[in-house]
Amino acid sequence: MKQHFLIMALCFLCTLSSLAQVDSIDVTTNRLRFNQLKEQTNTYMVYTQDSMDAPKRNMEIWERRMTKTRVNNKDVYKFNWGRFFSDGSNYHYEILADVGNFSPISEKILANRIQADSLVTHKIHYIYDGNSMYSNPEVNEHQSAPFKLDSLKNSFDWEMDMETFSMLPFEKGKSFAISFYHPGSKTLPNYYTYTVDRSEKIRFNEAEHKCWILKITYPGFGYSEWWIDKKTFVTLKMREVYEGKLRYKVLVIEA
């Protein structure tokens, strides 16, 4: 009888361990499903609200385009991201990533800001070297302060978060610790835990979509939820609740 209870207890502990398991996802783990990544352009409306009934403000249009191409005799993913603001300012990003593990190769940013009714242009260029990165030493290519980071913790480029999410091996209740870094940020690379919180059917663009809801919690501050289409693996919408404020990203064109 004691042996029976011991076996039951061990089984229970193993179940708890399995339920608590978090899969680490970085450029070395080979867990991304590249067949789920779409080569297409997705356009999003991004805005904030002070509450559910408050007016929408801080609006942006995002155009995010992913293609597979060849650069310097090497197959790469090229990610082009355009951010367009209501005042006429616009940012353009070009990020290259390895086709084998999605590790970043380079990132260029061209920022066109409206300042005192004039358009001011600013360039940023980061170069990756294995698990480290540095800014282009040419001042005409990188017009911010020189930058160098010796350890990236095998991180993905956080600018491509939605594209990285699209390649996750989704299962209900599964959690992923994903290594991300925002290029040039003072916040060092780290693993962030995202959980497949639930499934939902939603009406979107006059059609029903079955979605995974990927969630990350910011302890003491709020959370973000991402509705990811189970068929296309494209993010249809994101809702972030942070210190009582709301932020949304909503897909408006998929092409």
Q: Which two tokens stand for residue 159?
A: 């600018």
Is the Cβ–Cβ distance between 238 and 226 less than 8 Å? yes
Total count of residues recorded for the chain: 255
Q: Which amino acid is at 18?
A: S
254, burial (CB in 10 Å: exposed 0-12, middle 13-18, buried 19+): middle
Q: Which amino acid is at 236?
A: L
The residue behind tokens 């095998």 is: 154
**Using the 8-state DSSP alphabet, how is residue 162 labeled?**
H
Residue 209's contacts (CB-CB under 8 Å, 6 or more residues apart) are: 201, 202, 203, 227, 229, 230, 231, 236
Is the Cβ–Cβ distance between 122 and 138 less than 8 Å? no
128, burial (CB in 10 Å: exposed 0-12, middle 13-18, buried 19+): buried
Which residues make beta-bridge pairs with 61? 45, 84
**Domain definitions of the chain by residue range:** 23-254
Q: At 20, is the pLDDT very low, low, confident or very high (cuts 50, 70, 90)?
A: low
Q: What is the pLDDT of residues 80-97, one digit of tens each?
A: 999 999 999 999 999 999
Q: What is the pLDDT of residues 102-113, one digit of tens each?
A: 999 999 999 999
Q: Which two tokens stand for residue 77?
A: 């993913």
Is the Cβ–Cβ distance between 228 and 42 less than 8 Å? no
* The model's pTM: 0.90
- Alpha-carbon distance of 42 to 27, in angstroms, equals 24
∠ CA 197-200-203 to the nearest 5 degrees? Answer: 145
Q: What is the pLDDT of residues 153-176, one digit of tens each?
A: 999 999 999 999 999 999 999 999
Q: Which two tokens stand for residue 40?
A: 């297409």
Q: What is the pLDDT of residues 187-208, one digit of tens each?
A: 999 999 999 999 999 998 889 9
Is the Cβ–Cβ distance between 225 and 198 less than 8 Å? no
Nearest to 80 by CA among 159, 136, 168, 134: 159
Percent of the chain with pLDDT over 90: 86
Task: Output the pLDDT for position 206.
Answer: 85
Greater pLDDT, 105 or 2:
105
**Using the 8-state DSSP alphabet, how is residue 114 labeled?**
E
Q: Which two tokens stand for residue 173?
A: 């209740």
